[in-house]
Amino acid sequence: MDFFDTFPAMDRQGLRDLKKGIDSSFREFSRSYGEGIEDFFEPLLHFLVWLEKLLINAPWPVVIVGIAILAWLGSRSWKLVAGTVIAFLVIGYFGMWKDTMATLAIISVATLLCISFGIPLGIWMARSERVQLAITPVLDVMQTIPSFVYLIPVVMLLGIGKVPGLIAVCIYAIPPLVRLTNLGIRLVDKEVLEAADAFGADNRQKLFGVQIPLALPNIFAGVNQTIMMSLAMVVIASMIGVKGLGLPVLRAVSNQYLALGLLNGLAIVVLAIIFDRVSQAYGRRLQAHREGTGHD
Amino acid sequence: MTNTKIKIKNLYKIFGSNPKNAMEYVRNGLSKQDLLEKHSHVLGLRDINIDISEKCISVIMGLSGSGKSTLIRHINRLIEPTEGEVVIDGDDVLAMSAEELRDFRRNKASMVFQKFALFPHRSVIQNAAYGLTIQKIPEKEAEERSQHWIDRVGLSGFENHYPAQLSGGMQQRVGLARALTTDAEILLMDEAFSALDPLIRTDMQEILLDLQSELNKTIVFITHDLDEALRIGDDITILRDGEIIQQGSPQDIVMRPSNDYIADFIKDVNRSRVLLVRSIMVPADSENGPKIGMNIPLEEALSQLSSKQAMEGSVVDSEGKVVGKLDLSTAIEAIRRPERSSNDLQYR
């Protein structure tokens, strides 16, 4: 009867040895390769530090004008530009300028990184059933595994700092972009693709001339999601040494500073809204052909 | 008379997991239905042999499921056959490498689709220029050449509209312009006008006939509409369940349907518009009554006779020489709807 009462688990000694084995072999791995991997990410770190310094050291009016111009280029809407400028003025007035700039820097770099890996990966998935089968479960893991769990090996490998933070943000933020790029390309009308074939388009011409342009609404939704999710990740990333708005939030949580937490939390929200509105307006502008479906 | 442009020989297409295997059964005469029930393979086409003449409009007609759209896609190899040959100007399309095939599609055969299949993100002129863009022809030249065809199909002024802003008929004009812009000798039209409403369809048929009288392309036209087939076809091939059941001129089909299925098909056709005087005239060499051309439809001949209040007329060839006579009662007998009430329900 003993069999039914307690689950026939591994004995304690064995389990301990297994865990020890994994831990020590990973430690071994990070000891021998950690430095190499760190060197590999060196340029990324330089770029991030450079961008952060640029944003923090530049006179604040210049930064605001720069952001306003970007918002205008993206959205072509004066309302949105005015809202953006006011939001940044308020953030600065409440003393969160430096942290906001640091967050802006890491979000920008993380988004660029996600786009440069996520879109090609999504395209690859769309072109091959086998790749889709292989990558989908990996994306599932990336999206559902508690972020603290993958922070452990990242920190073991790279220590505490900006780069591990960046990697953690990307692991969390890249899946929707990959998924939506894949979906968008798969949803392109088969008849339109057949027409491209019938006129003798090769794979490249089909991809860049038909599939990607028609998948853009989905790809843009993916980019948008990636930005939102990396902003959400900023607080957790601050636990492993990323500067920015997440750090004061973390301090507020451990010390029960309501106002500090609220202010910085709201600043993250404001950034998110600005990013979202501008990127969506830009996406819509790329889709001019979808407007005005009325007949003449 | 005319040269064969496209030769389709012993073409078979079977859809399913193991078509090569299923070919055995089909060659041994298994029917389409049995193949589906016993081996779960779909017989798309069975032993198709067609010679498509140069510079003619060849219509391939059949109801849905007859394999007509599958057949036209074999001509530019959008679908690979299970067995058979497609030879165009002496070149075997099925033996072409990927590179040669792209070249063939770019320069030799262009296609118009049932649901237009325009590129929604390209403007009208960019759509028309698509084939040229693919061939990497400089933008300016591509634009000039597409503009010409946009004007020809009557879309001047709409160059910068997007497809979604146009009506169905206009969208298909863009489709036609896109196919014409590459100057391909072969034009494949897959139910090109079926999605349009009847008035617009007639318009488009007229545009096509008008263009053809000048361009003399080899056109393969797929349709399920017999009136359309009779109206524009120089040659008609009728498909049923993946097999050819009759091939011939519109006259042949109407005068000599090869079986009950086709006879049933054509019973509602306006015969006076399809039949030409020459196919029902009685040979004669003396002139008697008003002159009637041998290549005009009966409809026209009858109105000529009645305007002269004549009971019969003499049929003349294009040089005005008398070749036969046409009397009113023969003409009326010829356009009478055939009685086929016993078979009426068989094919519904």
Residues B156 and B291 in one domain: no
What's the token pair of residue B308? 């002269």
Residues B74 and B100 in one domain: yes
Q: Where are the domains of chain A?
A: 23-287
Predicted local distance difference test score (pLDDT) of residue B288: 78
Lowest mean pLDDT among A236-240, B9-13, B161-165: A236-240
Better pLDDT: B327 or A175? A175
Residues B192 and B299 in one domain: no
Which of A199, A203, A204, A206 to mutate against chain B (most B CBs within 10 Å)? Answer: A199
**pLDDT tens digits, residue range A251-294?**
998 999 999 999 999 999 999 999 989 988 888 887 767 655 44
Predicted local distance difference test score (pLDDT) of residue B340: 52
Domain CATH for B254: 3.40.50.300
> What is the band of B124 on the pLDDT scale with cuts at 50, 70, 90?
very high
Question: CA B222, CA B62: separation in Å to the nearest integer?
Answer: 8
Predicted local distance difference test score (pLDDT) of residue A285: 83
Number of domains chain B is built from: 2
Predicted local distance difference test score (pLDDT) of residue B344: 46
Lowest mean pLDDT among A11-25, B188-202, B274-288: B274-288
Task: Give the residue from B266, B283, B302 where a domain finishes.
Answer: B266
| Whether the predicted pLDDT of A295 surpasses 80 | no
Predicted local distance difference test score (pLDDT) of residue B111: 95
Residues B151 and B255 in one domain: yes
Predicted local distance difference test score (pLDDT) of residue A192: 94
Amino acid at A189: D
Among B263, B279, B191, B179, smallest CA distance to B232 is for B191
Task: Answer whether B208's CB lies under 8 Å from B202's CB.
Answer: no
Rounded mean pLDDT of B70-91? 92
What's the token pair of residue B89? 């100007």
* Residue A257, phi then psi, degrees to nearest 5: -95, 100
Angle at B115 between CA B173 and CA B87, to 5 degrees: 85
> What is the band of B263 on the pLDDT scale with cuts at 50, 70, 90?
confident
> What is the per-residue burial (b if ≥16 Cβ within 10 Å, else e) of B86-107?
bbbeeeebbebeeeebbebbbe
Better pLDDT: B142 or B327? B142
Q: Tell whether B233 is covered by a domain.
A: yes
Interface membership of B115 toward A (CB under 8 Å): yes
What's the token pair of residue A90? 């308020």
Contact across the interface for B111 and A195, Cβ inside 8 Å:
yes
> Does the model's ipTM exceed the 0.95 cut?
no
Residues B199 and B175 in one domain: yes
Better pLDDT: A241 or B204? B204
Contacts of residue B320, defined as CB under 8 A and 6 or more positions apart, other chains included, come to B291
Rounded mean pLDDT of A237-242? 86
Domain CATH for B276: 3.90.1280.20
Contact across the interface for A202 and B106, Cβ inside 8 Å:
no
Residues B297 and B256 in one domain: no
Predicted local distance difference test score (pLDDT) of residue A72: 93
Of B76, B119, B166, the CB nearest to A192: B119
B132: distance to nearest CA of chain A, Å?
Answer: 9
Question: CA A226, CA A276: separation in Å to the nearest integer?
Answer: 10
Residues B206 and B317 in one domain: no
Residues B110 and B160 in one domain: yes
**pLDDT tens digits, residue range A137-148?**
999 998 888 888
Question: CA A19, CA A25: separation in Å to the nearest integer?
Answer: 10
Helix (H, G, I), strand (E, B) or coil at B199: helix
Lowest mean pLDDT among A51-55, B56-60, B195-199, B319-323: B319-323
| Whether the predicted pLDDT of B290 surpasses 90 | no
Question: CA B247, CA B242: separation in Å to the nearest integer?
Answer: 14
Among B168, B183, B164, B179, smallest CA distance to B123 is for B164
**CA A203 distance to own-chain centroid:** 29
> What is the band of A63 on the pLDDT scale with cuts at 50, 70, 90?
very high
Q: Tell whether B235 is covered by a domain.
A: yes
Amino acid at B275: L
Predicted local distance difference test score (pLDDT) of residue B341: 44
Task: Give the residue from B208, B235, B266 where a domain finishes.
Answer: B266
Contacts of residue B249, defined as CB under 8 A and 6 or more positions apart, other chains included, come to B234, B235, B236
Interface membership of A204 toward B (CB under 8 Å): no
Task: Answer whether B114's CB lies under 8 Å from B86's CB.
Answer: no
Q: Tell whether B140 is covered by a domain.
A: yes
Q: Tell whether B186 is covered by a domain.
A: yes
Question: CA B154, CA B134: separation in Å to the nearest integer?
Answer: 24
**Searching chain B, which residue's CA lies closest to the CA of residue A206?**
B134
**Searching chain B, which residue's CA lies closest to the CA of residue A210?**
B119
| Whether the predicted pLDDT of B295 surpasses 90 | no
Residue A200, exposed/middle/buried by CB under 10 A (0-12, 13-18, 19+)?
A: buried
Q: For residue B74, give its domain range.
A: 54-85+96-266
Q: Tell whether B280 is covered by a domain.
A: yes
Question: CA A46, CA A152: separation in Å to the nearest integer?
Answer: 24
Q: Tell whether B2 is covered by a domain.
A: no
Task: Answer whether B238's CB lies under 8 Å from B247's CB.
Answer: yes
Lowest mean pLDDT among A281-285, B6-10, B117-121: A281-285
Residues B207 and B118 in one domain: yes
Q: In chain A, helix, strand, coil percent, each to 5? A: 85, 0, 15
Rounded mean pLDDT of B37-54? 90
**pLDDT tens digits, residue range A83-135?**
999 999 999 999 999 999 999 999 999 999 999 999 999 999 999 999 999 99
Q: Tell whether B17 is covered by a domain.
A: no
Predicted local distance difference test score (pLDDT) of residue A59: 92
Residues B77 and B158 in one domain: yes
Question: CA B178, CA A178: separation in Å to the nearest integer?
Answer: 34
**pLDDT tens digits, residue range A33-56?**
888 888 888 898 899 999 999 999
Predicted local distance difference test score (pLDDT) of residue B346: 45
**CA A44 distance to own-chain centroid:** 15
Task: Give the residue from B247, B266, B285 where a domain finishes.
Answer: B266
What is the C-alpha end-to-end distance of chain A, expressed in Å?
82
Of A213, A294, A295, the CB nearest to B121: A213
Predicted local distance difference test score (pLDDT) of residue B318: 79
Question: CA A127, CA A134: separation in Å to the nearest integer?
Answer: 13
Contacts of residue B38, defined as CB under 8 A and 6 or more positions apart, other chains included, come to B30
Residues B103 and B151 in one domain: yes
B73: distance to nearest CA of chain A, Å?
Answer: 9
What is the C-alpha end-to-end distance of chain B, expressed in Å?
39
Instruction: Please report, for residues A42, A209, A247, B197, B239, the alpha-carbon distance to residue B47 in angstroms, rounded to integers and kept in the order given.
Output: 66, 38, 75, 34, 11
Interface membership of B120 toward A (CB under 8 Å): yes
Helix (H, G, I), strand (E, B) or coil at B36: helix
What's the token pair of residue B5? 């442009």
Rounded mean pLDDT of A175-200? 94
A23-287 belongs to CATH 1.20.120.450: no
Q: Tell whether B63 is covered by a domain.
A: yes
pLDDT averaged over chain B? 88
Residues B218 and B279 in one domain: no
B97: distance to nearest CA of chain A, Å?
Answer: 13
Predicted local distance difference test score (pLDDT) of residue B289: 81
Contacts of residue A77, defined as CB under 8 A and 6 or more positions apart, other chains included, come to A281
